[in-house]
A = this chain, B = another copy of it.
Amino acid sequence: MRTPRITAHDVARRAGVSQPTVSLVLSGNPRARVAEQTRERVFKAARELGYRPNLVARGLVSQRSFGLGVVVPNLDNPFFTEVVSGAERVAAASGYAVMLCDTRQTSAARHIESLRARLIDGVILDPGGAAAVPPELLAGLNVVVVDATDGDLPGVSSDVIGTGRLAAEHLLGLGHRRLGYIGPATDSRVFRLRERGFVVALRAGGVSIPSPWLRRVPPTLAGGAAAMRELLSLADRPTAVFCGNDLAALGALKACHKAGVRVPDGISVVGCDDIEMARVVTPELTTVRVPARGLGARAARMLLGLIEGTPQRPGAPLPVELVVRGTTARAPEAA
């Protein structure tokens, strides 16, 4: 930064007014009663000098950073990437910076500490992150949880239970009665609720999942593949499987291909999320679409509301939607 920044003082000198007057005029403060003429002189001088207020100085006095923290568990998961993308869009449009934090290397708690030291205006967390941070660290901080499943903190959510239900109804409707579930081993409420929705809707259809068909694995390609491999090695297999997220579903698909089991003829697979990758495989993945970008955008909007004192109502959970593509077909035996 060789070039010395232009300050409000410089503008003031050029406009022939005092520095605070410049601040008054430029901050657009409504209750700023300045003569129209002075006002114009200030604007002119500011424009000519290319003045940009120093946000750090402004932050020091107003005790904020004009920034939003976005803390995600894993930037390599396209779902969170979309959340971030949605949040960034909204934040940038309102002049807020997005400080991005991945908790794989640095814990959510440490990230929060660091963000607080920066006087962050608010933070978007996923439920896992929220759970990993001691409540006192969050005290007095504007927080919005994305895809929240309980009411401890303000949050935006999608119809989490609905994901499982839609998957169940779809599969049941196709005549499947022998169903499996591949879900994360993480103690995440989101995944638990997806599972719950699935199981409950199944039960309503008179179907239950035998425990060998219920596989708990990490919500990754590798996890899904491993789970499906095990399922396929069973003498007695399900005819359809619901996966807690698309990454696992894609991994499961892969395992099927490797094992020479055709999808959907040999087995039906339903994912959850509808990440972009769901459409690159062949056949394309049938999945339940969760509006990740929408969640991110909505979380950011809610956070901005909290920050600027115009709180939004939580609003109904964002709807999820079954997207039937190529990995599901009628059950082989009409049960």
- Using a CB–CB cutoff of 8 Å, the interface residues on chain A facing chain B are 1-3, 5, 52-57, 59-60, 63, 65-67, 70, 75-76, 78, 81-82, 84-85, 88-89, 92-93, 95, 97-102, 104-106, 111, 113-119, 139-141, 221, 250-251, 253-254, 257, 276-277, 279-282
Contact = CB atoms under 8 A, between A and B. Distances in A.
Given A56-B118, A81-B75, A97-B118, A63 B102 contact: no
A98 B95 contact: no
A198 B53 CA distance: 48
A46 B320 CA distance: 49
A276 B221 contact: yes
Contact of A140 (B2, B54, B57, B75): B2
- Identical copies in the complex: 2
A172 to B, nearest CB: 28
Given A55-B119, A253-B280, A281-B281, 6 more contacts: A2-B139, A55-B118, A56-B60, A250-B280, A277-B280, A280-B281
B3 A52 contact: no
22 contacts: A1-B63, A1-B141, A3-B140, A5-B63, A52-B116, A52-B117, A53-B117, A54-B60, A55-B117, A55-B119, A67-B118, A76-B81, A81-B81, A89-B102, A89-B104, A92-B111, A97-B115, A221-B279, A250-B280, A254-B282, A276-B277, A277-B277
Contacts of A57: 60
A82 B93 contact: no
Contact of A281 (B2, B5, B67, B282): B282
Given A1-B141, A282-B282, A76 B67 contact: no
A109 B141 CA distance: 31
A114 B139 CA distance: 29
Nearest to A106: B92
Contacts of A66: 118
Given A60-B56, A98-B100, A281-B282, A93 B105 contact: yes
Contacts of A250: 280
Most buried by B among A52, A84, A141, A277: A277
A267 B160 CA distance: 42
A55 B63 CA distance: 11
